[in-house]
Amino acid sequence: MSATCIFCKILRGELPVTTVYEDEFSLAFMDLYPMRPGHVLVIPKEHHVSIQQLSSQMRFHLFELGAAVAKAQTESELQCKSHNFFINDGPEANQHVPHVHLHVLPRTGADLHMALFSFVSRYNNVFGVAKKRRQLAQIAKSIEGHMPKQIMSPLME
């Protein structure tokens, strides 16, 4: 754990978070600055900056969790057809939070302009954090309802 990392603070319960899945090794939660509605982040509980520092079992686990999140997004009220999976691995690759995270971004088609607009404007607090958190909670409930109880991976054996 890192004292200053935002995601470690979330893991320690020092910052609020809207979770869709948790197990001993990982957490999946709503991105507070979503590029599209339903944008989820998947993180390991261990603090590492780069995927190179993770065990191969952890990488496997995180991608299995990402796939389960995407399936749940598709089955949720979002009714998205496709997804972007991406990891910004290091500061020169636009990583803003130095804790490995897999973005799982639901896409509905004809939404590229909105995704790009959200990417550049999402840190502007236009709607207010309280309203935003209520919206995130509603979408999260819908996604969470379609998540498996537990991800199957070598870490779980």
Q: Which is nearer to ligand DGP, 25 or 29 (CB)?
A: 29
Q: Which is nearer to ligand DGP, 53 or 152 (CB)?
A: 53
Region from 88-96, 105-113, 139-147, 149-157 binding ligand DGP, contact rule CB under 6 A:
88-96
> Taking the mean position of all CA atoms in its chain, how far away is CA 38?
9
Catalytic annotation present for 83: no
Write the DSSP symbol of residue 156.
G
Write the DSSP symbol of residue 101.
-
Options 61, 83, 99, 101, the catalytic residue: 101
Region from 52-60, 89-97, 106-114, 147-155 binding ligand DGP, contact rule CB under 6 A:
89-97
Task: Give the C-alpha distances (Å, rounded to integers) separating 22 from 25, 98, 129.
Answer: 8, 20, 23
Q: Does 40 bind ligand DGP (CB under 6 A)?
A: no
Please provide the distance, in angstroms rounded to a whole number, between the alpha carbons at the two ends of the chain.
24
